[in-house]
Structure 1
Amino acid sequence: MIGAIALLLMCQLLGEALHRLTGIPLPGAVLGLLLLLLWFVIRPRERPVLSAVATWLIAHLSIMFVPAAVGLMQQGAILSRYGAGIVIATAISTILTLLVTVSVFRVVARRQESPSR
């Protein structure tokens, strides 16, 4: 199990290093996932071990959010003063993002439906 966690972290680290050293326009995490995929192609017998580790990590994912929650609790004065504005800005930006996404999807869907000439 420790070896599988080390493999995940190593792929993450190598992906970040690759991103920073080469300037590839992909996030380091995505490059790390691609490296992990390459590892699976090279050594497919390790999939069950990594699957077990990933299942365990997902089951305990809520623990990863504890530091963020503590950070929010420490900023109580700021949140009480600006909290409503933060919530409104977040709601508006979420709605706008959804509207733009739907619009782009509809445009692309219409283009694919029309026969190419």
Structure 2
Amino acid sequence: MLFLNGITLLLVYQLAGEIIVRLLGVPIPGPVLGMVMLFVTMMVRGRAPESVEQASTALLSHLSLLFVPAGVGMMAHFGRIAEEWLPITLALLLSTVITMVATALIMQQTSRWFVKPSSGQGHSDE
């Protein structure tokens, strides 16, 4: 029963995000907004509910099944992918590089927030 409650809570947040996006015309996907709202709720509470932990653990254990539709889609449209291989490859490479650079910059910035300055000693560059 705990699993069912967790799945229901996850779907309610997804539905709430979808409703808000449709009503306000926000340019982000409804499930993403629902996930952000769930994250904020858990941050305010200080923990995730046991039902959500159980449901999310069960979903993550079967995560590989979510790649089956993508694989089937690639096989179904293999001819088109073969025709458009150059733009697809460039888009994948460029988006990967941009993501890695953005992640590195964000990591540098956030690590500065959590590093405690050393007391009484000057900062030395090597």
Percent identity between the two aligned chains: 34
Deviation at 1:2, TM superposition (A): 1.8
Q: Which runs of 5+ in 2 are unaligned?
A: 114-126
Check the 8 A contact 2:6/2:53 in 1, yes or no: no
Higher normalized contact order (CA 8 Å, seq sep 6+, divided by chain length): 2
2:70 alignment partner in structure 1: 68
Structure ranking higher in helix proportion: 1
Task: State how far apart, in whole Å, the 2-side matches of 1:102 and 1:40 are.
Answer: 22
Superposed structure 1 runs of 4+ greater than 6 Å apart: none
Q: Alpha carbon RMSD of aligned pairs, Å?
A: 3.6
Residue by residue over 1:34-89, the C-alpha shift from the partner in whole angstroms, topping out at 9 and shown as x without a partner, is: 543437867x7x81121011011011111111111100110111122222441133
TM-score by length of structure 1 reads 0.66
Task: State how far apart, in whole Å, the 2-side matches of 1:104 and 1:48 are.
Answer: 34
Check the 8 A contact 1:40/1:47 in 2, yes or no: no
Deviation at 1:91, TM superposition (A): 0.9
Would you say how many aligned residue pairs link Structure 1 and Structure 2? 108
TM-score by length of structure 2 reads 0.62
Answering whether residue 11 of structure 2 is matched by residue 9 of structure 1, we say yes
